[in-house]
Structure 1
Amino acid sequence: MNWISGMLGSSIGKKLMMAITGFSFCGFLAAHLAGNLTIYAGKDAFNGYAEHLHALGPLLTVAELVLLTFFLVHVITGLILFLANLKARPVRYAVNKTAGGRTLGSATMPYTGALLLAFIIFHLINFHFVDKTNTTIFNIVSDAFSNTGYVVVYILAMVVAAIHVSHGFWSAFQTLGANHPKYMPLIHTAGTAFAVVVGVGFGFLPIYIFLLA
């Protein structure tokens, strides 16, 4: 057990936890987007999707608890790594170079992560923890996205999510040992493509609902 605690307490162990939890969130985003796309089939299809999820009962509760645990691990570990990096390099470089594969995503990971944390809390308050008595999830979504301000916030949040995912996707592969010149270009491309799908897929939903309202 000592080697397990030692590994998880090390920088490499923390990065592994970030990679594993990050992959789980990519899977969640893909599944969540697929479910949300049912809204294009009409309110009955979207409400049916939501009812099917709630019909899972205890299984859904377990899945939410696992996701919450992974989320806390990801946030806390990311914060620890960020503070450790600041401590190791307290003085920022005078020139911010892009050499070595530095991208917008890699340069802003802590900040996009913090913005996403704030948005997730905002999102849960407006969709998950609302009173669902005598209403449907379609009506809740429609009411929310009839507000122009919320639409703008949601779209900006999806841009931030795409930037975060664009780096996190391939970085997780790299952490898990897939850092090979033959495969990394493909992984980079896949990460960018997934980020675009996430950003556009989720970002267009509020626009579509707003136009219907």
Structure 2
Amino acid sequence: MNWLINTLGTSIGKKLMMAITGLCFCCFLVLHLAGNLMLYGGKDLFNAYAAHLNSLGPLLTVFEWILLTLAIIHVLTGATLFYQNYRSRPVGYAVNKRAGGRSLGSATIPYTGFALLAFIIFHLINFRFTDKTNTTIYQIVASAFTDPVYVFIYVAAMIVAAIHVSHGLWSAFQTIGANHPKYMPIITAASIIFSLIVGIGFGFIPIYFTFIS
């Protein structure tokens, strides 16, 4: 047990925790997007999907606690790494070069992470913990997307999520050891494609409710 604690206390250990929790959240994004796509099927389909999730009872609660635990680990570890990097180099580079694979995603990943944390809290307040008396989850979603401010915030957050994932996904694979010249270009391309699916998949939903439905 001591070796595990000592390993996780190192910079490499923290990056490993970031990678594992990040990959878990990418899997969750796939499941969450699949569920959200049912909104296109209308209120009956989406409400039935929501009712099915709620019928899971304790299993859903366990899943939510696992997600919360992963989120705490990811956020605290990320914040710690960000602080350590800042302390080791408090003054930025005089010239910001895009060398060594540096991209918008890699350059902004701590900031997009904090922005996503703020949005997730905002999102949970508006959907997960809102009063559902005499209403349905579909009505709550449809009502939220009649507010242009919320639509703007949601779409902007999905752009941020896409930028975050575009770097985070391939970086996670690199951290766990999939850093091979033959496969990394494929992983990098797949990460960009996945980030576009996330950004467009989630981001188009409020646009659909605003202009199409």
Alpha-carbon distance between aligned partners in 2 of 1:37 and 1:47, rounded to the nearest angstrom: 12
Alignment TM-score, normalising by the size of structure 1: 0.99
Report what 2:143 is aligned to: 143
Alpha-carbon distance between aligned partners in 2 of 1:146 and 1:196, rounded to the nearest angstrom: 25
Report what 1:127 is aligned to: 127
Letter in 1 for 2:25: F
Report what 1:91 is aligned to: 91
The C-alpha deviation readout for 1:123-169, integer Å capped at 9, x for no partner, is: 00100000111110000001100001100110000000000000000
Report what 1:44 is aligned to: 44
Structure 2 residue runs without a partner (length 5+): none
Report what 1:190 is aligned to: 190
Letter in 2 for 1:73: I
Task: Point out 4+ residue stretches in structure 1 off by more than 2 angstroms.
Answer: none
Report what 1:68 is aligned to: 68
Report what 2:58 is aligned to: 58
1:75-86, aligned counterparts within 5 Å? 75-86=75-86
Alpha-carbon distance between aligned partners in 2 of 1:147 and 1:199, rounded to the nearest angstrom: 20
Alpha-carbon distance between aligned partners in 2 of 1:209 and 1:54, rounded to the nearest angstrom: 24
Alpha-carbon distance between aligned partners in 2 of 1:47 and 1:212, rounded to the nearest angstrom: 20
Report what 2:3 is aligned to: 3
1:155-194, aligned counterparts within 5 Å? 155-194=155-194
% same residue = 66
Alpha-carbon distance between aligned partners in 1 of 2:24 and 2:163, rounded to the nearest angstrom: 17
Alignment TM-score, normalising by the size of structure 2: 0.99
Structure 1 residue runs without a partner (length 5+): none
SS class of match (1:108): helix
TM-superposed deviation, 1:209? 1.2
The C-alpha deviation readout for 1:47-67, integer Å capped at 9, x for no partner, is: 111001000000000000000
The C-alpha deviation readout for 1:70-109, integer Å capped at 9, x for no partner, is: 0000000000000000111111111000010000000000
The C-alpha deviation readout for 1:154-204, integer Å capped at 9, x for no partner, is: 000000000000000000000000000000000001100000000000000
Letter in 2 for 1:196: L
Alpha-carbon distance between aligned partners in 2 of 1:128 and 1:210, rounded to the nearest angstrom: 21
In angstroms, what is the RMSD of aligned CA positions? Answer: 0.7
Report what 1:116 is aligned to: 116
